[in-house]
């Protein structure tokens, strides 16, 4: 087929009349020519992608799927291929539980996050508690006490204890130097007294009508 076979009285793309155009014209405008060119180009690309086979399921790959070197028909087949590729690349044995697994890299030593945590804890040797002296297995290198009770007792022992009167009721008590009340009851009573004193000295506010601006003004008594 040559251009002489395509020539006619109408545009090949939109069917408009070619009256007044050149004798060898086959399109009525440049836009129709480019639109027909893009259609032919798209059909050629789709035809070139026919017959592609997925390397995982041996199914046909759609010609509308992008990429000239596409090897998989779907994302599921791609994931299966990546998993099969990873399996057997770095076969190892977990250093904690002894289970065989496929590592993601050469440096991986444990099959899971839990085994890695247990393996790190196992590396730490038992050491004595700084409070009671009993041996315990630390879960981190900075651990100094066997439990929260020993930690609290040791923290309290670092504060100097003194005997002084309570700031609310005046009763003498023995406690840390930073304490000023003998107990929780006096602490709450002193707090309520401070609230009452603050409310009693707060100025009252009375709304008055400002005749000039027509707005509510507030005047302190």
Q: What is the 3-state secondary structure (H, E, C) of the chain?
A: CCHHHHCCCECCCCCCECCCCCCCCCCCCHHHHHHHHHHHHHHHHHHHCCCCECCCCCCECCCCCCCCCCCCCCHHHHHHHHHHHHCCCCEEECCCCCCEEECCCCCCCCCCHHHHHHHHHHHCCCEECCCCCCEECCCCCCCCCCCHHHHHHHHHHCCCEEEEECCCCCCEEEEECCCCCCCHHHHHHHHHHHHHHHHHCCCCEEEEECCCCCCEEEEEC
Binned at pLDDT 50, 70 and 90, residue 101 comes out as: confident
Q: How far apart are the first and last CA of the chain?
A: 105
Q: What is the pTM of this model?
A: 0.31
- Res 20 pLDDT > 90: no
pLDDT tens digits along 187-208: 999 999 999 888 876 665 555 5
Say if residues 153 and 169 touch (Cβ distance below 8 Å).
Answer: no
DSSP structure class, residue 213:
T
Q: Which residue has the higher pLDDT, 180 or 20?
A: 180
pLDDT tens digits along 111-130: 898 888 887 766 778 889 99
Binned at pLDDT 50, 70 and 90, residue 212 comes out as: very low
Give the start-to-end residue ranges of the domains of the chain. Answer: 3-48, 87-123, 128-157, 161-200
DSSP E strand boundaries for the chain: 91-93, 100-102, 127-128, 135-136, 161-165, 172-176, 205-209, 216-220
The residues, any chain, with a CB within 8 Å of residue 204's CB and separated by 6 or more, are: 220, 221
Helices (H), 71-183: 75-86, 113-123, 148-157
Say if residues 166 and 173 touch (Cβ distance below 8 Å).
Answer: yes
């Amino acid at each position: 087929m040559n251009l002489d076979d395509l020539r006619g009285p109408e545009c090949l793309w939109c069917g408009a009349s070619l009256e007044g155009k050149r004798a060898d014209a086959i399109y009525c405008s440049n836009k129709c020519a480019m639109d027909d060119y893009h259609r032919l180009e798209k059909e050629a690309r789709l035809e070139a992608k026919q017959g592609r086979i997925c390397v995982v399921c041996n199914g046909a790959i759609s010609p509308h799927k992008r990429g000239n070197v596409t090897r998989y028909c779907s994302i599921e087949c791609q994931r299966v291929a990546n998993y099969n590729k990873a399996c057997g690349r770095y076969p190892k044995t977990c250093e904690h539980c002894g289970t065989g697994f496929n590592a993601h890299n050469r440096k991986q030593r444990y099959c899971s996050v839990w085994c890695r945590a247990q393996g790190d804890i196992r590396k730490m040797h038992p050491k004595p508690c700084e409070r009671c002296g009993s041996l315990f297995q630390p879960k981190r290198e900075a651990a100094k006490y066997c439990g929260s009770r020993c930690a609290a007792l040791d923290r309290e022992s670092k504060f100097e204890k003194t005997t002084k009167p309570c700031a609310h009721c005046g009763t003498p008590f023995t406690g840390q130097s930073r304490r000023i009340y003998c107990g929780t009851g006096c602490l709450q009573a002193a707090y309520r007294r401070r609230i009452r004193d603050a409310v009693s000295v707060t100025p009252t506010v009375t709304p008055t009508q400002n005749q000039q601006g027509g707005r509510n003004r507030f005047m302190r008594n």
